[in-house]
């Protein structure tokens, strides 16, 4: 992971057992995993170049072009009952755990394993988003459990509203507001292209 320290980029490794927290307001939520897409503010404790503890938060003044949209960031809470209802088509029984098996280049989950009392199922990104009625598949999550370890609910922290493929209209609008030209916008989202006038 590359972090900018005092204006200089430095490479760090995240320890496999490092606790990760997301800061929301004054609260720090313990996360089973983190998801960064760039521009987040990160506090950490490191020994040499290995991060031992990390706290991250969304930078609402970040340079991302979608900062102009009220739809860019979202949070959704699902109760245990809502989760069991959402995952009923998977025939796994009551929800016991959920873990991301693989992520794509944008950090969207590609495959996620749902563990239930009657089995487990691996679900691809679009189906998971549909089952949970989430705005986008770019999200991190936190599982709430009781003292016995039973799932009480889950909170999803997401960014965007779409499929993550092609040109984001909110991001393109933000780039335009920042003064980008049409060709700069197109080349941002469609890399390696040449624009030619055909008429």
Where are any strands of DSSP class E within the chain?
2-5, 8-11, 13-14, 20-24, 27-31, 41-47, 50-57, 73-79, 95-103, 109-116, 119-124, 139-145, 151-159
To which residue do tokens 């949070």 refer?
75
- Distance between CA atoms of 56 and 181, rounded to whole angstroms? 33
Residue whose tokens read 């590359």: 2
pLDDT at position 144 is 92
Helix axes 169-177, 182-189, angle to 10 degrees: 140
Supply the pLDDT for residue 187: 87
Measured between its terminal Cα atoms, the distance across the chain in Å is 46
Residue identified by tokens 């995993």 is: 33
Contacts 24+ apart (CB under 8 A), 15-20: 15/50, 15/51, 15/52, 18/51, 18/52, 18/53, 18/54, 19/53, 19/54, 20/54, 20/55, 20/56
| pLDDT by 10s per residue, the chain, length 199 | 777 777 778 888 888 888 888 776 556 777 765 556 566 778 888 888 898 888 877 665 555 555 556 566 778 899 999 999 999 999 999 999 999 888 776 667 889 999 999 999 999 988 999 999 998 887 888 899 999 999 999 998 877 666 666 677 767 777 787 788 888 888 888 888 888 888 8
* Rounded Cα–Cα distance for residues 180 and 170 (Å): 14
pTM equals 0.58
The pLDDT score that the predictor gives to residue 106 is: 66
CA-wise closest residue to 20 among 6, 7, 32: 32
Structure tokens at 129: 């988003």
Torsions phi, psi for 134 (to 5 deg): -95, 155
Task: Give me the residues paired with residue 78 across strands.
Answer: 154
pLDDT at 95: 96
């Amino acid at each position: 992971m590359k972090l900018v320290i005092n204006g200089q980029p430095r490479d760090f490794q995240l320890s496999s057992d490092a606790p990760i927290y997301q800061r929301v307001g004054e609260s720090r939520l313990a996360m089973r995993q983190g998801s960064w897409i760039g521009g987040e503010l990160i506090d950490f404790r490191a020994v040499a170049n290995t991060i031992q503890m990390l706290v991250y938060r969304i930078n609402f003044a970040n340079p991302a072009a979608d900062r102009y949209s009220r739809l860019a960031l979202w949070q959704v809470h699902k109760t245990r009952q809502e989760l069991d209802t959402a995952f009923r088509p998977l025939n796994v029984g009551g929800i016991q755990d959920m873990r991301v098996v693989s992520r794509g280049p944008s950090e969207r989950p590609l495959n996620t394993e749902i563990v239930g009392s009657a089995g487990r199922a691996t679900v691809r990104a679009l189906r998971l988003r549909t089952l949970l009625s989430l705005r986008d598949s770019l999200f991190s999550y936190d599982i709430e459990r009781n003292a016995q370890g039973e799932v009480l609910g889950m909170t999803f922290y997401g960014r965007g509203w779409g499929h993550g493929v092609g040109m984001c209209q909110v991001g393109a609008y933000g780039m335009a507001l920042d003064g980008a030209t049409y060709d700069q916008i197109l080349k941002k989202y469609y890399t390696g292209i040449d624009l030619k006038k055909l008429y």
